[in-house]
Amino acid sequence: MTDVAADQTFAGAAETHEPSHIGPRLRAQREQLGLSLRELARRIGVSASLISQIERDKVNPSVSTLYSLARELGLRMGDLFSDEASSVPAASAHSPLVTPDARALINLESGVTWERLTADADPGVEFLRVVYDVGSESCPEDSLMRHGGKEYGYMIAGRLRVQVGFERYELGPGDSISFDSSSPHRLSTIGDRPAEAIWVVAGRQSDGRRSQSSSGGT
């Protein structure tokens, strides 16, 4: 996807979905590392204007762009979740229980939502409820994601296509899947209703490489 096309895609997504609420975290880390917008954009292959809009929460990143930003900035995915949506008082923050209205979340491009199902960030495991809206995808068809760790998914509702390498699997309610995240992979919805799943990523932090694409998430 070209920079112009990416900017248009993200701008369109921003019009219809809630902000990601991760922009300030990304900007603070970039500035702490002494990286300019242009340099960070060059490293991950997008435009500086796109990163500027993401940092100001004007547009939401795609799954693949978020992975690239986190890796390049040395952030764990758990560092990016926003607790702003939680209605639970701060005094309850140390409870291991997480109710639906207390989940930290990230809203991504094209209606992808990640909700953290643990009370706090876990450095070794990401335990998530993921929702892919109709027409959503984790990355373009010609640029599959890969990263460290292993993924486990269990479908709750809707249908989800999971491509791992050259193989494609169609998951419906009750189906489950597991695969090595270092294999190029892509998630996308099937049909006319959102796909909802429980997703676990274990060991992502063991991957210190910058983002890669199979043409050369979750």
Max CA distance (Å), the chain: 49
Closest CA to 138 of 118, 115, 160, 156: 160
HSE-up (13 A, CA, CB side) for residue 3: 11
- The answer, as to whether pTM is greater than 0.85, is no
**pLDDT of the chain, 218 residues: tens digit per residue:** 334 344 434 344 334 468 888 999 999 999 999 999 999 999 999 999 999 999 999 999 999 899 899 989 999 888 888 655 444 444 355 789 999 999 999 999 989 999 999 998 888 899 999 999 999 999 999 889 998 899 999 999 999 999 999 999 999 999 999 999 999 999 999 999 999 999 999 987 655 444 333 333 56
Distance of CA 198 to the CA centre of its chain: 14
Q: CA 159 to CA 182: how far, in whole Å?
A: 24
Please give the radius of gyration of the chain, using alpha carbons only, rounded to the nearest integer. Answer: 16
Classify 62 in phi/psi space as left (phi over 0), alpha (psi -120 to 50) or beta: beta
* Domains (range + CATH), the chain: 3-79 (1.10.260.40), 83-206 (2.60.120.10)
